[in-house]
Amino acid sequence: MERRQFLKTSAIAAAGFSILPSGRLFASAPAKVRLGYIGVGARGMSHIAEGLLRDDVEIVAICDTQESSLKICREYIAKKGHAPVKEYTGGLDAYKKLLDHKDIDAVIIATPWQFHHPQAIDAMKAGKYVGCEVIAGLTVEDHWDIVNTSEKTGIPYMTLENVCYRRDVMAALNMVRQDLFGEIIHLEGGYQHNLRGVLFNNGKQYYGGGVEYGPKALSEAQWRTQFNIDVDGDIYPTHGAGPCMHYANINAGNRFTNLVSFSTKAKGLAAYVEELSPGHPNAKIHYKNGDVTTTMINCANGETVLLSHDTHLPRPYSLGFRVQGTKGLWMDVNKSVYIDHKSKEDDSWDPAKEWFDKYDHPLWKKYEKFAEGAGHGGMDWFVFNAFVESVKQKRQTPIDVYDSVTMSVITPLSTKSLKEGNASVAFPDFTKGKWKERKNTFALDDSGF
């Protein structure tokens, strides 16, 4: 089965209908979803690739401020045998002309983090579904703006957090829902990934090869490095927080109540630059973002969640998931599961694969052929498909605006905690009390439950 085959029956959306008015929910659905792309750099191009593989997607327009990115995208679209699409470029407000298109149903936003908030606000006001890369805004107020605009316009906003669809993450969710781990007590996750080659390059290639950032660099090093210079806090919390929220039913019978963050000294990035280019000015920069930032979050129902941001030091990739309950636990780092009275031996680990093969999530079992070859081990297909199907069916997105801002707002809250000497910071209730009645329906549609 080819991935480009039209998915006529999939129904992955449905995280509750608290935003979309009933008239929009039950209006006739389009045969194709007409997409506009704001930002077609490295991450935006991955979404372009997903869109070109689908018969139910039409790419109408693209926007980027850099001709180099537009050129790569233009050539890729032509290589795939598709007609040229409308392009917008120039100043930072060029995207507004894309939003004027009446024939665009939804936008994919994959620009630097500082632009997500205004672009998403304008897109929702223009009546476009928003699928936005991680980090909804830079301040707590930004996140409230996203919620209030989505509620006022009735337009869904979805953070495109692909790790929520990672195969082992979803298998663990399946096990949580079947009570294999018992009552959930403690959760862990994070972003533990050597990003030094992402934050610095030689200006000729996207990753590595040099120690430049900003205007002298390419891709993410042009903008992402600056956040590590200016901000001390967990600046990328969603990979860990998103899945943990689903395990703990956050915003659906449970909520985050407060957090505390701790940050180590910052030595890794300067040491990396000095090693590659002794005496380089970038080795003398004071990088504010600690090499390891740890955030502990309390939940209304008594669980704790531990998040880690660790991207400046040499280390193998791991998101460090831990799902622990009264009957057992899964630990991502050692790829192991232990279930009391069901594992092979008492107090001895089983390989996680044995459990995850047995409890593979029904969505993965059903759609794995479509995800073959997609980015990040296939999970990019699932998150893109979830968004497209929601737009096509005029439904709420499975990661809705409340979940999106909850996992993202950890960044400014973490920063505030650190500035105030590791103070406990109250967590906003973006649902305004609706969390008490909402149900966790993430990935339940068409899953066999």
Over the stretch 246-270, which tens digit does the pLDDT of each residue have? 999 999 999 999 999 999 999 999 9
> What is the SS3 assignment for 50?
helix
Q: What fold does the segment set 33-163 form as a domain?
A: Rossmann fold (3.40.50)
* 3-state percent helix, strand, coil for the chain, nearest multiple of 5: 40, 20, 45
Boundaries of CATH 3.40.50.720 in the chain? 33-163
pLDDT value at 16 more than 50: no
Q: Which CATH class is domain 166-361+401-436?
A: alpha beta
| Contact (Cβ atoms closer than 8 angstroms) between residue 430 and residue 19 | no
| Contact (Cβ atoms closer than 8 angstroms) between residue 259 and residue 240 | no
Structure tokens at 442: 């993430």
> What is the SS3 assignment for 223?
coil
pLDDT value at 304 more than 80: yes
DSSP state of 18: S
Query: Rounded to whole angstroms, how far apart are CA atoms 65 and 88?
Result: 8
320 or 18: which leads in pLDDT: 320
pLDDT, average across residues 59-74: 97
Which residues lie below 8 Å from residue 325, measured CB to CB, with a gap of 6+? 176, 181, 182, 183, 184, 185
Residue 377: pLDDT band with limits 50, 70, 90:
confident
Boundaries of CATH 3.30.360.10 in the chain? 166-361+401-436
Beta-strand runs (E) in 234-321: 256-263, 292-299, 304-310
pLDDT given for residue 446 in this prediction: 52
> What is the SS3 assignment for 63?
strand
Mark residue 261 as left, alpha or beta (left: phi above 0; alpha: psi -120 to 50; beta: remaining).
Answer: beta
pLDDT digits (tens, 9 = 90+) for 38-49: 999 999 999 999
Query: Rounded to whole angstroms, how far apart are CA atoms 357 and 345?
Result: 19
CA dihedral angle for residue 54, residue 59, residue 62, residue 68, rounded to 10 degrees:
50
pLDDT given for residue 21 in this prediction: 36
Residue 376: pLDDT band with limits 50, 70, 90:
confident
